[in-house]
Amino acid sequence: MGQVRLLPVRAADPFSLREVCVEHGITQKFIKPHCPWQNGKVERLNRTLATEWAYRQVFTSNAARAASLAPWLEHYNTERRHSAIGGRPPISRVLPT
């Protein structure tokens, strides 16, 4: 696997992921359909999203639901303790100790 780097994109820019990958020489790799064991981390995040965010409260509108996602993700990545990484939040894996 090569070096991971950020590709800055403004929300207003029309693009497709396929076009961005081709432009930057990135090869996409796909998992087999209906094989969640190849996609375990995403499946685990989806389960956590459902139990700790989506079904934890009643949203009165789609706008209210959408507005609450970013703060929850911030909490998930910077404050919430994860047992798989020794009870630390994920941000601790990218910041110097």
What is the helix, strand, coil percentage profile of the chain, to 5?
A: 50, 0, 45
Residue 78 parent element (H or E): helix 62-78
Residue 45 maps to a domain: yes
pLDDT at 4: 61
Q: What's the whole-model pTM score?
A: 0.61
Residue 61 maps to a domain: yes
Examine the pLDDT at 20 and tell me if it is beyond 60: yes
Residue 16 maps to a domain: no
Confidence of residue 94 (pLDDT cuts 50, 70, 90): confident
Residue 23 maps to a domain: no
pLDDT at 36: 74
Mean pLDDT of 18-30: 83
How many separate domains does the chain show?
A: 1
pLDDT at 21: 83
Query: Which domain, by its residues, includes 47?
Result: 32-93
Mean pLDDT of 16-31: 83
Residue 3 maps to a domain: no
Residue 67 maps to a domain: yes
Residue 15 maps to a domain: no
Examine the pLDDT at 26 and tell me if it is beyond 90: no
Residue 83 maps to a domain: yes
